[in-house]
Amino acid sequence: MRVDYYLYLSAVLFTIGAVGVLVRRNAIVVFMCIELMLNAVNLSLVTFARMDGNLDGQIIAFFVMVVAAAEVVIGLAIIMSIFRSRRSASVDNANLLKY
């Protein structure tokens, strides 16, 4: 069975996620794109585990999922409170912390 298709798919998903983070302004969409990138990486890790015949990659993928879950909790809470105070979910509007 050929596994390189999974890697192509992973690369496509990662690129879509990265472009989404760069071009979209809505914080929720940006967040979803980050999740997409994380999962693209997860797919790569699982694929590599399959290729090498051991479980290292799968274990790292689990770690990534746990970290992503924690990140979602914190990130959504931040987005919520920003939206409450500024009535906007645009990442470009939240630019107070600068030079």
Partner 1 sequence: MTSTTHYVAATGVFHLTFLLVLLPTVGAAVLLLGGRRTNPWGHLLGCAMPILSFVIGVIEFVALIGRDGGQSRQLDQHLWSWVPAGSFHANVNLLLDPLSLVFVLLITGVGSLIHVYSVGYMEHDPDRRRFFGELNLFVAAMLLLVLADNYLVLYVGWEGVGLASYLLIGFWSHKPSAAVAAKKAFLVNRVGDVGLSLAIMLMFTTFGTFAFDGIFNGAASGHAHSGTMTAIGLLLLLGACGKSAQAPLQSWLLDAMEGPTPVSALIHAATMVTAGVYLVARSAAIYDVAPHARVAVEVVGAVTLVMGAIIGCAYDDIKKVLAASTMSQIGYMMLAVGIGPGAYAIGILHLLTHGFFKANMFLSAGSVMHGNNDEVNMRRYGGLRKVMPVTFACFSFGYLAIIGMIPFSGFFSKDKIIEAALDKGGFEGGFLGTIAIVGAGLTAFYMTRLMAMTFFGVKRWPKDVHPHDAPRVMLIPMAILAFGSLVAGYLLILGGSLQHFLTPAVGGSVEVGAHTISPVVLSLITLAVVAGGVTSAWYLVARKPIPAEPPTYVTPATKAARASLYGDAFNEGVFMRPGAYLTRALVFFDNRGVDGLVNGLAALVGGTSARFRRLQTGFVRSYALSMLAGALALTATLVLVRVG
**DSSP annotation string for 49-94:** HHHHTSSHHHHHHHHHHHHHHHHHHHHHHHHHHHHHHHS--BTTT-
Give the nearer residue to partner 1 in terms of CB position, either 2 or 99.
Answer: 99
Using DSSP's 3-state secondary structure scheme, residue 25 falls into coil
Q: Per-residue string for binding with partner 1, 27-66, x by CB under 8 A?
A: ---x------------------------------------
Per CB under 8 A, the list member of 7, 9, 16, 21 interacting with partner 1 is 21
Q: Give me the residues that bind partner 1 (CB under 8 A), please.
A: 18, 21-23, 25, 30, 91-92, 94-99
